[in-house]
Amino acid sequence: MQAVLQYPKIAVIQPQGCLNAANALEFERDLTTGLTKNDISILVVDLASVESLDSAGLMALLSAHKLAVSLERSFRLCNIAPSVKIIFELTQLDRVFEILENEADLSAT
């Protein structure tokens, strides 16, 4: 019998600037596209270059999280600046999302 190893395919999305009502729809489309690719099992959103996040940006992330759960895929956030991370903590969404300190934490997956 031959052992079969399957390695997860990881996609990383790196938004920049502000995630707000002006660009949340486009951001959500990018997340949806990343999650629905057949060869992707983990989608990581690297928020290192995100300066601010409003409710529309949060809703885009929540919609993508919901889609990931329904597709049985992993959805993770990483490199969140302290000024943005506080938004996740105040809304208690830090309990919903899997948040990594940096992309290197993916190696533990």
Integer CA distances (angstroms), 63 to 8, 29, 75, in order: 22, 10, 11
State pLDDT tens for residues 46-66: 999 999 999 999 999 999 999
pTM of the model: 0.86
Report the C-alpha gap between 69 and 80 in whole angstroms. 22
φ/ψ of 5, rounded to 5, equals -105, 135
Is it the case that residue 8 has pLDDT exceeding 60?
Answer: yes
Q: Which residues, 6+ apart, have CB-to-CB distance to 10 below 8 Å?
A: 40, 41, 42, 43, 44, 106
Nearest to 83 by CA among 52, 104, 41: 52
